[in-house]
Structure 1
């Protein structure tokens, strides 16, 4: 049996009847799908960006969020749709890592792919091209870090928030108000209002998106929560392999009749934390982080 290898060939296989495309025809079809998506998303770019209307079941949405628009697009042509999925992944990655800038990332991704396909068509080596792109990215990231600066003050926050808020003055003022109250390290949560008004409320304390290690630590069984006041806190990176290592702390907390919150990483034995600390459950709880 004779095998043939084609340079710069991309093979697309999808469930059901197989469709196979090679070389330039395949690349052009992929780029066509990318262009169709980016042409829609790019109109929302910048402070003067326009809105896009999405039809969802029985309702319409007017929106200018890049990642949401991108995820709403699906093309009939299977290979064009592969190009759409490429851009989906770019938008989702940027959204999860940065929280914004998805439209900018989508526009840059299109141009990067377009330029890359052009030089490949002119017989450039794809591996060398990728290596050069990786080196360029490192240089660009370094330059951006050198030019970046920390946003300070209410006016600076408003300037950034105005872009994310779609140039809605009311919304960006709310964002600036919230950050001004809680500081740059605070956590902002968006919830449905119980009234027709949109407003900011501040909850004192720290929010940690982790849970207690066992139901044995629960102090309020009706709500299945742990409630402590005037708590002592121990944060440790050390591996806890034996309960004897922290018995003095537990005994001290018991003597003072004060709760103890222990925050540990993944270097703690589940069985030790549950079965050997039973006597102290009324006085402490334990939160486990995989990384901190």
Structure 2
């Protein structure tokens, strides 16, 4: 058995810093409207090179660096970039350059004898103050122009940004956006009826699209219950009914839980091709879960079969099952397209819920009612994107997903001046944190790192970073370099916006990653580390 090796002290930290710095330099090229394109050489095939402009996708393509200690630092930064993509949809490059600046400053102080644990404490205190300052300057996201500006800042494509802005202006904050790919240059949108529920599949073996981790069912029958399906006797009558009378249509099973022999029976029928089916559970417990299941039954024209009804599965008929034109299930949501429910009944429930909202005494109660209204009252936009090659389609899809997530986050948390201006405006709050000694040096690390997005955007535009920074500070809060004109401008007036949620999350996650690297005293290196495409 091969033994791992251990690298200590300066050798470990210096190697991690070099690796993280290499990847951060690469991701930093994608920051700002004058972003550089990165060409990735591939091993073979008809498409020898892939053009990348998205930081998270670029990080995902880098699965290892040659040096073992450098690889550790690079993979930590890679994980940071991908987690940003998963959590808020944008900000991967911003988080990377923030983390790199923190690491460079931290290593400089540590070389002079600073205590890394005290540096971390100062970094965390200053980050908390800066995040509060960023959140305090947030304004509500309103109007199609501002939504389009935010989407364009996220994806770098004005035409795509305009359509995403129009979609959210039309559907509102609870609107659902479904992205479809087409072969050939194409960009359009379509609005249809639909709803989205928080939930997920019960087994990855139900997936029909493993690349995007999706289940897609066309014209399925939908069984809806709060049963715990764990035995063959519970699901066999349902399976036999749909196989016998369902005309080859798929089956979606929605219940409180699915395991044991019950789940095995669903999987066996699905994998053997007897009946395409999928098992799903919705988020929530108790009354919240029952309300979601009841809403789903109403939207799809099915029957909510609850435990207390003492219903015998053998008595099921097709009339008890809901229906929809299409259903998509991913790791977070169950999306229903054009359910077969009674529209008048849906409108009556919406009116009843609006009455409950007006009478709600507690914030939590009101939020739950709003969630139900969003499920019942919002529509779905089909965002249609296309390109000639598979790589280009994947890139366009990534752009669209990023724009959609960022606008949704902007709706929830508001927007702040873009172009790095929000980070610059948060520096005074960070510097005002009371601290002494090495803790004060940790505060200084964050204050310096908050300049880095502005510096990197200027560098990518061919402007001297220190000059752009000085001009932005002289112009006042909310000002930064407007790359297209080469002048410093008020970012809000110029329509250049960022999601406050994205900015705050990037700073918090960058601080967490940088602090972990700075306090690391040793690395255990395996001789043959496992490589993974997933960060």
What secondary structure, in the 3-state scheme, does the structure 2 residue paired with 1:32 have?
Answer: helix
What is the distance in 1 between the residues matched to 2:29 and 2:93? 9
TM-score by length of 1: 0.70
Asked if residue 204 in structure 1 is aligned to residue 193 in structure 2, the reply is yes
- Of 53, 56, 78, the residue aligned with 2:39 is 53
For residues 131 and 70 of structure 1, the distance between their equivalents in structure 2, rounded to whole angstroms, comes to: 29
Tell me, yes or no, if the aligned pair for 1:87 and 1:106 is still in contact at 8 Å.
yes
Q: Compare 117-126 and 274-283 and name the one that shifted more.
A: 274-283
Q: 1:277, 1:284 → 2: CA distance?
A: 15
Matched position secondary structure for 1:124: coil
1:134-182 Cα offsets, whole Å, 9 max, x none, are 222221221111011121111101111112222x222212212322332
Alpha-carbon separation, structure 1, partners of 2:134 and 2:175: 25
* Preserved CA contact (<8 Å) 1:24 1:121: no
Contact 2:148 2:163 in 1 (8 A): no
- Any residues of structure 2 matched to 1:1-292 within 5 Å, and which? 16=2, 18-58=4-44, 59-73=48-62, 74-166=64-156, 168-193=157-182, 196-208=185-197, 210=199, 212=224, 216=238, 220=246, 222-225=248-251, 238=286, 259-261=302-304, 272=307, 276=311, 278=313, 279=315, 282-283=319-320
Question: What secondary structure sits across from 1:198 in the alignment?
Answer: strand
Give the Å deviation of 1:106. 0.7
SS in 1 for 2:41: strand
User: Scaled by the length of structure 2, what TM-score is found?
Assistant: 0.40
Q: Secondary structure at the match of 2:175?
A: coil
**Distance in 2 separating the partners of 1:36 and 1:77:** 12
Aligned-residue RMSD, C-alpha: 3.7
C-alpha contact (below 8 Å) 1:90/1:109 kept by paired residues: no
Larger Rg over CA atoms: 1
Q: Is the 8 A contact 2:20 2:74 kept in 1?
A: yes
In structure 1, C-alpha distance between the alignment counterparts of 2:175 and 2:153, rounded to whole Å: 20
Change beyond 3 A, Cα 1:62–1:236 = closer
Q: How many residues align?
A: 245
Partner of 1:8: none
Could you list the per-position Cα deviations for residues 111-133 of structure 1 after superposition, in whole angstroms to 9, with x for gaps in the alignment?
A: 12222233333332222222222
Q: Distance in 2 between matches of 1:99 and 1:277?
A: 45
1:91 and 1:106 in contact (8 A); partners too:
yes
Separation of aligned partners in 1, 2:15 and 2:252: 57
Q: How far apart in 2 are the matches of 1:151 and 1:25?
A: 47
Q: Which moved more, 1:115-124 or 1:30-39?
A: 115-124
Give, in angstroms, the shift of residue 100 of structure 1.
0.5
| CA distance 1:276–1:134, shift in 2 (3 Å) | farther
| Structure whose residues are more often strand by fraction | 2
Please state which structure has a larger fraction of its residues in helix: 2
- Secondary structure of 2:133 counterpart: helix
Q: Distance in 2 between matches of 1:81 and 1:223?
A: 49
CA distance in 2, matches of 1:275, 1:16: 59
**CA distance, structure 2, for counterparts of residue 94 and residue 176 of structure 1:** 22
Aligned to 1:265: none
The superposition leaves residues 86-106 of structure 1 with CA deviations (integer Å, 9 ceiling, x where unpaired) of 101111111111101111011
Q: Do the aligned partners of 2:19 and 2:73 also contact (CA within 8 Å) in 1?
A: yes
Deviates most, 34-43 or 55-64? 55-64
Residues 87 and 277 from structure 1, CA distance in 2 versus in 1: closer, same or farther, beyond 3 angstroms? Answer: farther
Q: Any idea what SS the aligned residue of 2:40 has?
A: strand
- Structure 1 stretches of 5 or more lacking a match? 1-14, 228-234, 263-267
Q: What whole-Å deviation, never above 9, does each CA across 1:172-213 have from its counterpart, x for those lacking one?
A: 122123223322221212211266532111121212254656
Q: Distance in 2 between matches of 1:53 and 1:273?
A: 60
CA positional deviation for 1:19: 4.1
The answer to which structure, 1 or 2, has the higher relative contact order (CA under 8 A, 6+ apart) is 2
Structure 2 residue ranges without an equivalent (≥5):
202-223, 230-234, 254-282, 323-332, 334-367, 372-535
Greater shift in the superposed pair: 98-107 or 274-283: 274-283
